[in-house]
Amino acid sequence: MSKMAFQRAARTDKGVSAVANLVSLKLAPLENLTELVNEHLPKQIRMFGVKRVAASFNSKNSCDARTYIYILPTYAFCPVEEITSESYRVSSEILQLAKDVSSEYLGSHNFHNFTSGLVIAIVRGVASRDTIQQAYNADKILDMLSPTRTSAQAILKAVVTTTSTILQESTSAEQKEESNDADDNEPSKKKFKDDTTTEVESSIETTSTTTTHVRQRALKKRKVCVSFGYCGAGYFGLQRNAKDKVHRTIEDELVEAFVKVDAIPQTHADDMSKMAFQRAARTDKGVSAVANLVSLKLAPLENLTELVNEHLPKQIRMFGVKRVAASFNSKNSCDARTYIYILPTYAFCPVEEITSESYRVSSEILQLAKDVSSEYLGSHNFHNFTSGKKFTDPSARRHMFSIDIADPYIRENVEFTTITIKGQSFMLHQIRKMISLVIAIVRGVASRDTIQQAYNADKIDIPKAPPLGLVLQKLHYDRYDKKFGHDGQHEALTWAEVESEITTFKENVIIPHIVKREISDKSMLAYLERLIVHSFSPMDSEIDWRLSLPYQIVFQKVRTKMNPTYVFMAFFRSDAFTL
């Protein structure tokens, strides 16, 4: 079933029913699929409908809440000192008591003690009124309705103690908990133990000294997320390939640091699936990140952040670690991602003007860039902004929440601006191609309606802007924070407590590197030189819109940027003239 990405929203046990459950999977979109499937189902199982969902949708992890009902006869609330029978009719006082007791479940609590009906036990008088509050603590509360205890024992003890206490004595068999919850999306139900417990093995008393041998228990690994930032210079992107010892990546440094501080064993570094490793956003060669995030299982060492940073180069910093829910996945649980792209404003210089580092963008040109970029907002098919995606591929459709272009600022006598893009998710090279098309339109190298044309099925040639200015700014986990951020066991993934440290790293490491490299390498100028070669027209079209431009304008642009040989080749390849 993994081949079709099958995932159920909620698991139900033997004998449990569902009014409306849900599964996500990949299948052929047949016409009248619901009717066809129901013909092959028994009457007690019905399919109600099918809907197309986003590629990142997961019926379990994307579910915000679940509603269950429990149907029971009211004699379940019959006081224990009365005779229980089907003829029992619940009084309004008893019913109100049941409501009051059940209301104590509202809010966020630790439910490690809950495996069956405690409300019934309290209302009947088999358990004391404050048992629910006691059950939220670390102590293990015996289950009064467990099959390992007979009903006669429970009732007899409850009556003798005037139905106000819980039976305390137990055997080792009685202390085993059941695990019959209907929902498999709750945090892992495990007994409470200190993560860093040590065990005293023996104590031998001698005439002069007392020797104590202490054996350190192996630390239990926990599901955590790690926030870290990096400058991508000198690395072959973020993603690690354990078998590739030549091309160093950011994850190589991070994973090796975890091994050095004994947060993970070497076997997990060699096979990262053993520690459930998952990155939130993959960045390419030369791309930086202010705050990326990975989820994995590791030993919760004290001062882990400081220990790891001692083994990391200065251009990579770990900002913090937080325990997360067992179902958390840094990629699938992420609601949105924010990127920034830092570029010199001469990238917006009109094609008929001479482009140089002394250029200063006007308010009219900057407004034009904002108007053009706003056409990306909303949901569109971005198959033309990546590689290897067809127009019919559902995963090519992405949603952009916001796009902003900041006011210009001067660094090293060159004017820069920052474009901020927040989207649900991005494909390979998508942002760089989005930036490239905005530049081409503002400069006059591409027509004004090219963005709208790119959303259609025709394949359009859009080059990539340089990777230097692209930076992953922020990851958004709004749904996770709402569900788990205040449950008493986990923290919200906002990282407000290290915000100043993250900002300092951005201002002192990432931005100065981008500015310095742009001025020295002139990657944007080199990109602008090649921009005229691209037609930004459908590849199968016989019309090249550039032929409508005045010859002098195109030639002036190419002549000021390229040598004579390349001038000839550029015009020849673009069919601007024939011999």
Give the active site residues.
284
Helices marked H in 444-522: 450-454, 478-484, 499-505, 511-521
Angstrom distances, CA of residue 396 to CA of 62, 337, 390, 461: 20, 17, 8, 16
**Residue partners of 349: CB distance under 8 A and separation at least 6:** 355, 359, 361, 443
Contact 263, 298 (CB under 8 A): yes
**What is the β-pairing status of strands 278-279 and 288-298?**
antiparallel
Q: Kindly state the helix (H) or strand (E) to which residue 222 belongs, with its residue range.
A: strand 222-230
CA dihedral angle for residue 327, residue 330, residue 331, residue 332, rounded to 10 degrees: 30
Which tokens sit at 422? 């927040």
CA distance 440 to 453: 14
How many C-beta neighbours within 10 Å does residue 371 have? 13
Contact 69, 182 (CB under 8 A): no
Q: CA triplet 566, 567, 571: central angle to 5 degrees?
A: 110
Instruction: Of 250, 241, 327, give the one whose Cα is nearest residue 285.
Output: 250
CA distance 204 to 223: 39
What's the full length of the chain, in residues? Answer: 579
Q: Kindly state the helix (H) or strand (E) to which residue 295 belongs, with its residue range.
A: strand 288-298
DSSP 505-562: HIIIIIHHHHHHHHHHH-HHHHHHHHHTT---SBTT-S--GGGGS-HHHHHHHHHHHS
Contact 24, 57 (CB under 8 A): yes
Residue keyed to tokens 């409850």: 158
CB under 8 Å, gap of 24 or more: what pairs does 233-237 form? Answer: 233/286, 233/288, 233/315, 233/513, 233/517, 234/315, 235/285, 236/285, 237/282, 237/283, 237/284, 237/285, 237/287
DSSP 468: T
Q: Is 63 exposed, middle or buried (0-12, 13-18, 19+ CB in 10 A)?
A: middle
Strand-pairing partners, residue 560, are: none
CA distance 241 to 260: 19
Q: Is 407 exposed, middle or buried (0-12, 13-18, 19+ CB in 10 A)?
A: exposed
CA distance 449 to 322: 46
334: left (phi over 0), alpha (psi -120 to 50) or beta: beta
Q: Is 70 exposed, middle or buried (0-12, 13-18, 19+ CB in 10 A)?
A: exposed
